Every structure is written in C-alpha cells, then in structure tokens.
Amino acid sequence: MLLAVDVGNTDITFGLFQKEELITRFRVTVKVPRSSDEYGELICTILQKKGYSPSDVEEVIIASVVPKIMYSFTSGIYKYLDCHPLVVGAGTKTGIRIETANPREIGPDRIVDAVSAYEQYGGPIIVVDYGTATTYDLVTADGVFMGGVISPGIRISANALWNNTANLPEIEIKCPGFLIAKDTVTSMQAGLFYGTIGQSEYIIRRMKEESGLSDVKVVATGGLGKIIAENTNEIQVYDSDLTLRGLQLIYEKQKR
C-alpha cells in the first residue's frame, strides 16, 4: 500500500491507497513539536485503530511546506514503517511544465494540486486551495503551470481579526445566510465568508482575463473550500481529496 502525506502549515493529512483506491484518511496537527519516535508511534497507532498494520505500508510519498519538521517526520517513517519516503521537490516527475520566474520557489502542495486537477479534470484549469493560505493556480490545456496568486487564508484572516482587536470575540467560521448582519458575531461571519467569496470571484475572473482563457474549469479543495464552492458559480468542482490523489498520481509517474 502507498501512504500519501500532505504536510501543511496547520495539519498533516494522510491517505492510504491500495493501488488507485483511497481506502482511508486521517489527520494530525503540526502545531505540537514531536520527535521521530512520537511521529512514528502516532502514525502506527492510528493505522492500527483503522484496521491496518504498519507493515501494510510499502511506500510513502510526501509533499511538505514545513521544512523544520521534516527531519523528525521522515526519520519516524523510516524507523517505524521501514520506508524511505519520496519527498516531492526539484527533480520529481510531475507531468506538468512549470513556466514561472523561479520554479523551485513554487510550493510542492501547489504543484501536487495542479497535477491532480490537470490529470483528473483536464486543462485549462484553475486550482483554488483554501488552506492556511488560499492559493489560485492556472494550468493550461497542454499542461503548463503558468503561475498564480497567494493570499491569506480564511483562518489567518479570522485570527488577525480577533487577536488584534480588543472587543471582537473568537467565532465559528460559517455562512451566516445573509450579508447585512445585526449583531457582532454574524457581522464577523459575513465579512469573513462573503469577503472570501468576493475575493475568489474577482481573482478567478481576472486570471481568465489576463490569460485570455475564458473557457476554464475551476476546481477547489481545502478544509473550508466546500462552503465557498457551494456559494459561488465561479467554482465548478469541489474535491476534498485533490492533494492526496495528486500525490498518488505523482508516485505512479516515478514508478513508470
């Protein structure tokens, strides 16, 4: 089996694949510093609770945007799963061509999302990932990664709102159902939710205009992407497993 791992700024997401089938997934936080033994034991314990043995894992592929944990994390995988993980980076075969000023600067999570969207839905395509940061990336019909936009994620904006004001409380991020709110909590929810939708719609339209590609499919992923995608016509597809599937596709390309 293949264990695909997406190491983000907030969470580490795991997906266990049996050939091309995603059979289980789980998530842990990255906010707590851990040793290699702690990472290894945590992964093994969760696998066993889900009914799988650590020995079932034959290969591991990782995309990470958090370099500082990678030594402990990969060491834990090697010691407890007996695997040398493939870490997506420069030199990894992806099937798409990156045409930016410095391709090495593009985060591996963005590349993995772009590969997944292009392989599954075709091009041209815009990929929007509502993670810790919100990213918008464009891939052409012939598989060229043209570049994109990085903006603060919804949770970053929310944390800035209540951490830098004296009287605004910490709130649940959700769709309030209306824009003109009559109390503080729903006013904040409206600003965060509809502000994100407004940003998304504007950026997507501008990307289409600047690229000259009007007939572009838009696919979204990320934790809060579902409620955004459900409330705008600019996004056609929401795919919660886009990154994990992209890792599996990239792994298969390395084998070939």
Length of the chain: 256
Per-residue pLDDT at 243 exceeds 90: yes
Q: Is the pLDDT of residue 32 over 80?
A: no
Pairing of strands 133-139, 86-87: unpaired
C-alpha to C-alpha distances, 252 to 17, 61, 86, nearest whole angstrom: 12, 10, 12
pLDDT range class, residue 119, cuts 50, 70, 90:
very high
Share of the chain above pLDDT 70, in %: 100
Residues with catalytic roles: 109
Question: Average of pLDDT values for 59-77?
Answer: 96
Confidence of residue 96 (pLDDT cuts 50, 70, 90): very high
pLDDT band at 212 (very low <50, low <70, confident <90, very high): very high
Q: Residue 33 has what pLDDT?
A: 85
Mean per-residue pLDDT for 124-144?
96
DSSP string, 180-227: S-SSHHHHHHHHHHHHHHHHHHHHHHHHHHHHT--S-EEEEESTTHHH
Reported as a single tens digit per residue, the pLDDT across 145-204 is: 999 999 999 999 999 988 999 889 998 989 998 999 999 999 999 999 999 999 999 999
How many C-beta neighbours within 10 Å does residue 184 have? 12
Which residues on neighbouring strands pair with residue 90, listed in sequence order? Answer: none
Q: How confident is the model at residue 91, as a pLDDT?
A: 83
pLDDT of residue 224: 87
* Single-letter amino acid code for the residue at 198: G
The rounded mean pLDDT for the chain is: 94
Q: Is the pLDDT of residue 256 over 90?
A: no
Output the pLDDT for position 138: 98
